[in-house]
C-alpha cells in the first residue's frame, strides 16, 4: 500500500479527483511517552485504548466528512468522502492539530501526531488499506507481548528486543506459547484494532440522527472485507441532508 501514500503535508499538494482518501495519524514519540507513565499497564493499557478511541471519535465529529475510523496502537486512520479534500496540506495540519490537542487533554501530558494521506483509486484498495493496517496491529501485538513477557521473566531489555526482532510472527507465536501466553486469547482490540462507524438512529418526534458505533471486536478476513466495502459504499454515497441528519 505504500505507493498510494502521498506523504506528509509538503508532499501532498493535490488530491486526484474521484479517489478515496484516507488520512493516517501517527503518534510522535509515543513509546517514550507511555514508558514514562508508570501507572499504565504493559504492554497495552485499556485507558490508552479508550483515549485513542475518544480522539478518533473527536476527529469524526470535528467538521471533516469521515465515513469510517480505525485505530490501533498509536495510530488512527480516517476514510473520507471522495471529493471533500480541496487542500490536503491544510487538512493534514488541521487533523494532526485536533488529534494532538484532544489526546493531550485526555492524557494530561503533551502528545503530538503527524499525518499523511493515501489516495486509493477504488473500493477494493480501501479494503486492502484497512486490512493492511489490521495486519500491522497483529504484528505489533505479537511483538509487544513477546517483549514484555520476556522482560517479566528477567531478560534484559537489549536481549529481549534482539530476540523479538530476530523472530518472525510464527516464531513469536511459538515463543509466547513457550512462555505460557495464550495467543488466541489476546483481546481483539489489541490484535485487530478498533473500528468506528456511523449508525443512524430513529428518535421519536425528532430528526433522524447519527451516532458513532465503536467496534471493539472487529472481524478478520472476508468478513472484515465485506464490512469495509459497506463503509466504502457509504463514503461514496451522496452526502446526507444536513437538515435531516446531525452528528452526535
- DSSP code string of 30-78: HHHHHHT-TTS-SS--HHHHHHHHHHHHHHHTSSS-EEEEEEETTEEEE
Question: Terminus-to-terminus CA distance in the chain, angstroms?
Answer: 32
Phi, psi of 79 (to 5 degrees): -90, 120
| Alpha-carbon distance values, 201 to 207, 211, 212, 247, 248 (Å) | 9, 7, 10, 11, 10
pLDDT in tens, the chain (248 residues): 777 776 554 454 556 667 899 999 999 999 888 888 878 999 999 999 999 999 999 999 998 889 999 999 999 999 998 776 667 788 899 999 999 999 999 999 999 999 999 989 999 999 999 999 999 999 999 999 999 999 999 999 999 999 999 999 999 999 999 999 999 999 999 999 999 999 987 666 555 678 999 999 999 999 999 999 999 998 888 665 443 333 33
Residues present in the chain in total: 248
| Domain 1-135+188-248 architecture | 2-Layer Sandwich (3.30)
Cis peptide before 75 (omega within 30 of 0): no
Per-domain residue ranges for the chain? 1-135+188-248, 136-187
The residue among 49, 15, 19 whose CA lies nearest residue 190 is 49
Amino acid at each position: 500500500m505504500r505507493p498510494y501514500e502521498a506523504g506528509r503535508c509538503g508532499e501532498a499538494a493535490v488530491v486526484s479527483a474521484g479517489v478515496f482518501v484516507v488520512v493516517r495519524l501517527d503518534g510522535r514519540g509515543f513509546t517514550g511517552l507511555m514508558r514514562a507513565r508508570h501507572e499504565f499497564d504493559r504492554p497495552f493499557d485499556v485507558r490508552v485504548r479508550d483515549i485513542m478511541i475518544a480522539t478518533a471519535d473527536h476527529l469524526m465529529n470535528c467538521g471533516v466528512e469521515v465515513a469510517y475510523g480505525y485505530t490501533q496502537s498509536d495510530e488512527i486512520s480516517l476514510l473520507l468522502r471522495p471529493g471533500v479534500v480541496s487542500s490536503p496540506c491544510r487538512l493534514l495540519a488541521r487533523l494532526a492539530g485536533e488529534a494532538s490537542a484532544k489526546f493531550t487533554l485526555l492524557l494530561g501530558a503533551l502528545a503530538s501526531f503527524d499525518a499523511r494521506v493515501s489516495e486509493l483509486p477504488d473500493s477494493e484498495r480501501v479494503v486492502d488499506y484497512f486490512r493492511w493496517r489490521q495486519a500491522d496491529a497483529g504484528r505489533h501485538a505479537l511483538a509487544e507481548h513477546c517483549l514484555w513477557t520476556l522482560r517479566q521473566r528477567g531478560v534484559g531489555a537489549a536481549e529481549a528486543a534482539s530476540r523479538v526482532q530476530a523472530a518472525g510472527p510464527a516464531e513469536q507465536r511459538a515463543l509466547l506459547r513457550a512462555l505460557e501466553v495464550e495467543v488466541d486469547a489476546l483481546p481483539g482490540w489489541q490484535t485487530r484494532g478498533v473500528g468506528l462507524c456511523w449508525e443512524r438512529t430513529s428518535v421519536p418526534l425528532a430528526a433522524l440522527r447519527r451516532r458513532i458505533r465503536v467496534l471493539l471486536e472487529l472481524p478478520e478476513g472476508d468478513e472484515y472485507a465485506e464490512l469495509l466495502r459497506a463503509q466504502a459504499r457509504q463514503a461514496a454515497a451522496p452526502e446526507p441532508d444536513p437538515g435531516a441528519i446531525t452528528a452526535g
